[in-house]
């Protein structure tokens, strides 16, 4: 069984939000840690599992505004480890997927601080599970592509995608930003076919999760939920459109005593 060693930093994936999606290793480290530095998106229900004697500090961002600089986070991790504490850096999703773990790893190595990486469930996988939607399928998708709409400050933003999307691929867009209609226009301009199904998931794998699906041509008018958002694009999303069409058809033909039943089925 893993023990939270003094003087060691643990880069731990908190998963997408549901505390029950924490790994066993992550839970054990949270129960033993002396210090926990967490992202803003880590929910209170997960923080409630932390050692009650631990110092818990948020080092995340809200709407892109940092509470502390990345260099400040590095200093906290290094100083806490050098003070002989066991340190958990609790990161949303998986630490190595569109986080800043690479910078933290480099800082820890340069300071000679031992560290351990503990994987977490990334949002795309949790969203697929919650929607009962395979992101890959031997009939429709044999490729899974992760991209992000968020870039480092001062870095020229490269195009999110270039060229047609392979017919057998699912494109997952993390942090697409608030202007999702512009994102859809950019994808079409890059060459992605307008009839490709897409889905926007808000607050994946949390009690607040919601989703909306359509074809890329209609995404400009789609009402998406609040951030954090995740966007899925590809033929594997076709089943979501079929479900939406079936629910719409039921609503048109069913009336009387069955109307309430159909409404509950939609919910």
Residues catalogued as catalytic = 39, 61, 175
The third-level CATH classification (topology) of the domain covering 124-244 is: 3.30.950
Q: CB count, 10 Å around CB of 215?
A: 17
> What is the torsional sign of CA 181, 187, 193, 199?
negative
CATH of 9-121, one of 1.10.760.10, 3.40.1010.10, 3.10.180.10, 1.10.287.130: 3.40.1010.10
Give pLDDT tens digits for 121-163.
Answer: 999 999 999 999 999 988 889 999 999 987 656 555 678 899 9
Spell out the per-residue pLDDT of the chain, length 267, in tens: 778 999 999 999 999 999 999 999 999 999 999 999 999 999 999 999 999 999 999 998 765 556 789 999 999 999 999 999 999 999 999 999 998 999 999 999 999 999 999 999 999 999 999 999 999 988 889 999 999 987 656 555 678 899 999 999 999 999 988 888 888 999 999 999 999 999 999 999 888 999 999 999 999 888 888 989 999 999 999 988 877 555 554 454 434 343 443 344 444
- Map out the domains of the chain as residue ranges: 9-121, 124-244
């Amino acid at each position: 069984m893993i023990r939270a060693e003094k003087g060691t930093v643990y880069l731990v994936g908190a998963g997408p939000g549901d505390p029950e999606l924490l790994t066993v290793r992550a839970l054990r480290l949270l129960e033993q840690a002396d210090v926990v530095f967490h992202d803003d998106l880590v929910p209170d229900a997960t923080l409630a599992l932390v050692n009650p004697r631990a110092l818990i500090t948020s080092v995340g961002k809200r709407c892109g505004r940092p509470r502390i600089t990345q260099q400040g986070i590095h200093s906290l991790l290094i100083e806490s480890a050098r003070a002989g504490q066991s340190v958990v850096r609790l990161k949303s999703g998986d630490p190595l997927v569109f986080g800043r773990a690479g910078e933290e790893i480099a800082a820890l190595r340069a300071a000679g601080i031992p560290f351990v990486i503990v994987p977490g469930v990334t949002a795309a996988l949790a969203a697929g599970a919650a929607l009962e939607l395979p992101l890959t399928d031997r009939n429709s998708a044999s490729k899974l592509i992760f991209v992000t709409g968020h870039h480092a400050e001062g870095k020229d933003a490269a195009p999110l995608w270039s060229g047609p999307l392979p017919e057998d691929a699912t494109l997952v867009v993390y942090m697409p930003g608030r202007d999702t209609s512009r994102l859809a226009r950019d994808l079409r301009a890059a060459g992605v076919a307008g009839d490709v199904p897409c889905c926007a998931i808000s607050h994946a794998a949390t009690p607040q999760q919601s989703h909306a699906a359509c074809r890329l041509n209609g995404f400009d008018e789609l009402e998406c939920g609040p951030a954090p958002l995740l966007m899925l694009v590809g033929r594997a999303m076709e089943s979501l459109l079929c479900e939406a069409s079936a629910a719409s058809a039921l609503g048109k033909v069913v009336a009387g005593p069955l109307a309430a039943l159909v409404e509950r089925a939609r919910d």
